[in-house]
């Protein structure tokens, strides 16, 4: 681990990483003392909010305030440090910070009340909680843990605050690009990988070819699985595989974890759930004027299905 001396050729053991994460605040602080020498400086308020980072009740809005609007960057940095991913995958610290900042800019592009960098930080934290509190992290490899945290952080990158249905019905550029299939989700992964084509943002620069490929396959599958249209199929597939004697498809299980984290706010405290629901409602109703403008345009000659029937489904509003 980061604090114990080891021979350079000796690889960090996964078991020891698990223990370090579970050891809590004491180890966390030791890490911070070393990592901060070359890494991200934590304001005292941020350190204070991270005392609860292993708890389901963690308040991501408090972190966002403490970090003056940088909850995603700090959450990523914190979890990459705690799972020792920077050492294991030789991730350059400045690249991780720049990548986190670039993600935050993309998440802020459309000023969404809900699908913004706080939601990304929240889902990243929730994925960590699910892995830690259920013990699933013991079942995952280090690369799979990296995939989980990375996929959670990028899963709504450059979300424009509308639904896939909106894109499809208004025949937007991205809908045309992705042939109406998981339009936004395809964009989130693609655009996040595009950032890493900049050398100084490439956090995956030191992964082997095989690691890079495996990570990419997992991340694509996980982020595409956050498309709500696949929700019932995902549940059905998992139910079915739990009844089988042969092992569970790991990528599918990981996808379900991310999907569950993405729609987890109804399972959080009332205060957090209420705040997220209000934000989601606001975002949802913001797209209505755009809709109406499109419908007026369409009624001048083109035939369209009224997309509002899908939008007004309260179930989808909660789960979007
Ligand atoms: Zn999301």
Q: How far is the CA of 31 from the centre of ligand 1 (A)?
A: 30
Active site residue 115: yes
- Alpha carbon distance 196, 126 (integer Å): 24
pLDDT, residue 11, reads 52
Q: How far is the CA of 12 from the centre of ligand 1 (A)?
A: 32
Say how far residue 2 (Cα) sits from the centre of its chain.
Answer: 25
Q: Return the structure tokens found at 122.
A: 């929240």
Q: Return the structure tokens found at 76.
A: 């990523």
Q: How far is the CA of 155 from the centre of ligand 1 (A)?
A: 6
Q: Is the pLDDT of residue 197 over 70?
A: yes
Q: Which residue of the set 70, 115, 128, 188 is catalytic?
A: 115
Q: How far is the CA of 4 from the centre of ligand 1 (A)?
A: 37
- At residue 103 the predicted structure's pLDDT band, cuts being 50, 70 and 90, is very high
Comparing CA positions, the residue from 83, 96, 176 lying closest to residue 138 is 83
Q: How far is the CA of 156 from the centre of ligand 1 (A)?
A: 5
Q: Give, in order, the Cα–Cα distances in Å from 110 to each of 77, 159, 172.
A: 24, 8, 16
Among the listed ranges 21-35, 108-122, 181-195, 247-261, which one has the minimum average pLDDT value? 21-35
Q: Which residues contact 154 (CB under 8 A, 6 or more apart)?
A: 103, 120, 188, 189, 192, 219, 223
Q: Is the pLDDT of residue 4 over 70?
A: no
Q: How many CB atoms lie within 10 A of CB 65?
A: 15
Among the listed ranges 29-43, 147-161, 169-183, 211-225, which one has the minimum average pLDDT value? 29-43
pLDDT, residue 287, reads 80
Q: How far is the CA of 228 from the centre of ligand 1 (A)?
A: 10
Q: What percent of the chain has pLDDT over 70?
A: 78
Task: Spell 257-266 as b/e; 16+ CB within 10 A means b.
Answer: bbbebbbbbe
pLDDT, residue 319, reads 36
Q: Which residues contact 118 (CB under 8 A, 6 or more apart)?
A: 60, 61, 64, 71, 72
pLDDT, residue 215, reads 98
Q: Give, in order, the Cα–Cα distances in Å from 238 to each of 129, 134, 136, 232.
A: 20, 17, 16, 10
Say how far residue 207 (Cα) sits from the centre of its chain.
Answer: 20
Residue list, CB under 5 A from ion ligand 1: 156, 262
Instruction: Read off the pTM.
Output: 0.81
Q: Is the pLDDT of residue 81 over 80?
A: yes
pLDDT digits (tens, 9 = 90+) for 53-72: 999 999 999 999 999 999 99
Q: Is the pLDDT of residue 16 over 80?
A: no
Q: Over range 172-199, report the average pLDDT.
A: 98
Q: Say if CB 193 and CB 226 are below 8 A apart.
A: no
Q: How far is the CA of 236 from the centre of ligand 1 (A)?
A: 21
- Checking 28-32 for CB contacts under 8 A at 24+ apart, the result is 28/82, 30/2, 30/3, 31/2, 31/3, 31/81, 31/82, 32/81
Round the average pLDDT of the chain to a whole number and report it.
Answer: 86
Burial bucket for residue 115 (CB in 10 Å: 0-12, 13-18, 19+): buried
pLDDT digits (tens, 9 = 90+) for 220-258: 999 999 999 888 988 888 888 888 877 788 999 999 999
Q: Say if CB 266 and CB 273 are below 8 A apart.
A: yes
Q: Which residue has the higher pLDDT, 115 or 1?
A: 115
Q: What percent of the chain has pLDDT over 90?
A: 70
Q: How far is the CA of 152 from the centre of ligand 1 (A)?
A: 8
pLDDT, residue 79, reads 98
pLDDT digits (tens, 9 = 90+) for 295-311: 666 666 544 333 333 33
Q: What is the DSSP string of 26-92?
A: HHHHHHHHHHTTTSPPPPHHHHHHGGGTTSTT--HHHHHHHTTS-HHHHHHHHHHHHTTHHHHTT--
Q: Which single residue is written with the structure tokens 């966002």?
A: 64
Q: How far is the CA of 254 from the centre of ligand 1 (A)?
A: 15
pLDDT, residue 291, reads 61
- Alpha carbon distance 170, 295 (integer Å): 9
pLDDT, residue 198, reads 96
pLDDT, residue 241, reads 81
């Amino acid at each position: 681990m980061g604090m114990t001396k080891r021979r350079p050729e000796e690889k960090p053991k996964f078991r020891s990483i698990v223990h370090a994460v579970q050891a809590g605040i004491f180890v966390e602080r030791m890490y911070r003392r070393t990592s901060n020498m070359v890494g991200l400086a934590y304001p005292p308020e941020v350190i204070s909010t991270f005392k609860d980072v292993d708890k389901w009740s963690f308040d991501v809005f408090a972190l966002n305030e403490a970090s003056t609007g940088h909850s995603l960057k700090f959450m990523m940095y914190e979890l990459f440090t705690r799972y020792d991913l920077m050492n294991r995958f030789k991730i350059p610290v400045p690249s991780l910070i720049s990548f986190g900042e670039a993600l935050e800019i993309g998440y802020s592009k459309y000023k969404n009340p809900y699908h913004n960098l706080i939601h990304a930080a929240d889902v990243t934290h929730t994925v960590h909680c699910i892995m830690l509190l259920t013990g699933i992290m013991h079942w995952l490899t280090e690369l799979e843990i990296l995939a989980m945290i990375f996929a959670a952080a990028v899963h709504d990158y450059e979300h424009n605050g509308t639904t896939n249905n909106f894109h499809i019905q208004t025949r937007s550029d991205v809908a045309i690009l992705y042939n109406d299939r998981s339009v936004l989700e395809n964009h989130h992964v693609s655009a996040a990988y595009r950032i890493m084509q900049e050398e100084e943002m490439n956090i995956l620069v030191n992964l082997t070819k095989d690691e890079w490929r495996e990570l990419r396959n997992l991340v694509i599958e996980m982020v595409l699985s956050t498309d709500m249209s696949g929700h019932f199929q995902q549940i059905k597939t998992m139910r079915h595989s739990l009844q089988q004697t042969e092992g569970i498809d790991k990528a599918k299980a990981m996808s379900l974890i991310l999907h569950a984290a993405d729609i987890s706010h109804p399972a959080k405290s009332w205060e957090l759930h209420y705040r997220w629901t209000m934000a989601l409602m606001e975002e949802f109703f913001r797209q209505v004027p755009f809709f109406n403008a499109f419908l007026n345009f369409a009624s001048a000659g083109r035939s369209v299905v009224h997309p509002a029937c899908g939008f007004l489904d309260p179930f989808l509003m909660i789960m979007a």
